[in-house]
Amino acid sequence: MLNSICDVPGINVGHAEDLIGGTGCTVIIPEDGAVCGVDVAGGGPGTRETDALNPVNLIEEIHALYLGGGSAYGLAGADGVMRWCEEKKRGYDVGLGVVPIVPGAVLFDLPVQDYHARPDREMGYQACLNAVGDEARCGNIGAGTGASVGKVGGMHLAMKGGLGTASLNFDGIVIGAIVAVNCLGDVIDPTTGQIIAGALTEDKSDFVGTMNLYKKMAAGGPNPRMSNTTIGAIATNAALTKSQATKVSMMAHDGFARVINPIHTLHDGDTIFTLSTGTRKADVSIIGALAAEVMATAVLRAVKAAKTSYGLRGLAG
């Protein structure tokens, strides 16, 4: 086990970055397609093809999944993923050719380094070329390149976020998670209840505690901090329908809530996709509960592996 979403049979992952500009993207490619569901819990999402994943709609499987920085501009990276899929003849057969189904979501990393640096068609294509079945790296990579956490006091008091992945295996059922952690809130170790990454005090010697500050701000009008959103995916070899995959996505958001506080604010576009690649029978409630656990682990791994960059302190030094 790699402790990666790639532990799920048939899942490949690729990353591409602009390290100078401070942004990047990640693709998750199921070798034989995958049933997919999604749940959007944040108030400011940037997504594509999520309506196609509604259980009442036609599409039964996706051909790749895209996660990127760049806010709405970064959705352009999925065009490169579509190009790669079309070249491989991976897509929905429309008679004249194929139309690849590539859902995706983006996070807001524009103020971290260069506002004009965003994932584009070429970066998305390169991420596909980089996709492998044993990708397990965490930190400043892919969609987590420009990620940051704890922004209630402004970017100058935020810390470095990143990309994380994790997995678990029980009796041959494998559940993996991948996540780009770019939250407004603080990241908390659930075993101690202590903040491990988040908004810093003005002298940067301690954590301000976003919820403590929120209590003081409660009657002061809206908080303007908008540079947020945590996006990720669950994958499993358990057999799921679109409805069941959607439910697993909903339950996986509990993993966010266990280690990020606050979460799902109006200025977060938190989105989780769930991919089912296999035929193993399993209880959906159990899959969802375990998905929440593995997602929480992936979030913690993301910030623990984040290196100091772009003026943001990282836990990995």
207, pLDDT greater than 90 = yes
Two structure tokens written together for 259 = 């280690």
- pLDDT at 208 exceeding the cut of 80: yes
Contact by Cβ (8 Å): 125, 85: no
> Model's pTM, two decimal places?
0.97
What number is the average pLDDT over the span 147-157?
Answer: 93
DSSP code for 269: -
Categorize the per-residue pLDDT at 6 as very low, low, confident or very high, splitting at 50, 70 and 90: very high
User: Residue 137: is its pLDDT beyond 80?
Assistant: yes
Per-residue tokens: 279:
């035929």
Q: Where are the domains of the chain?
A: 5-304
| CATH class entry, domain 5-304 | alpha beta
Give φ, ψ of 11 to 5 degrees. -100, 125
User: How many separate helices (H) and strands (E) can be counted in the chain?
Assistant: 5, 17
What residues does 163 pair with on adjacent strands?
139, 180
* Residue 58 banded pLDDT, cuts 50, 70, 90: very high
Residue 98 backbone phi and psi in degrees, to 5: -120, 150
Tell me what pLDDT residue 147 has: 98
Residue 12: its pLDDT value, please? 98
SS3 state of residue 292: helix
**Residue 77 near residue 124 (C-beta atoms within 8 A):** yes
Instruction: For residues 210 and 110, give the distance between their C-alpha atoms in angstroms, rounded to a whole number.
Output: 22
Question: Which structure tokens are listed for 154?
Answer: 């402004």
- The mean per-residue pLDDT over the stretch 57-65 comes to 96
How far CA 152 is from CA of 186, 297, 308, in Å, comes to 9, 24, 19
pLDDT at 215: 85
Identify the band that residue 216 occupies on the pLDDT scale cut at 50, 70 and 90: confident
pLDDT of residue 86: 98
Angle of helix 121-129 versus helix 77-87 axis, rounded to 10: 50
Angstrom CA distances, 301 to 164, 189, 205, 305, 316, stand at 5, 11, 23, 6, 10
The strand pair at 35-40 and 271-280 is best described as antiparallel
Q: Which two tokens stand for residue 291?
A: 């998905």
pLDDT digits (tens, 9 = 90+) for 230-284: 999 999 999 999 999 999 999 999 999 999 999 999 889 999 999 999 989 999 9
The yes-or-no verdict on residue 221 having pLDDT over 70 is no
- Rounded to the nearest integer, the mean pLDDT of the chain is 96
Give per-residue pLDDT as tens, 78-122.
999 999 999 999 999 999 999 999 999 999 999 999 999 999 999
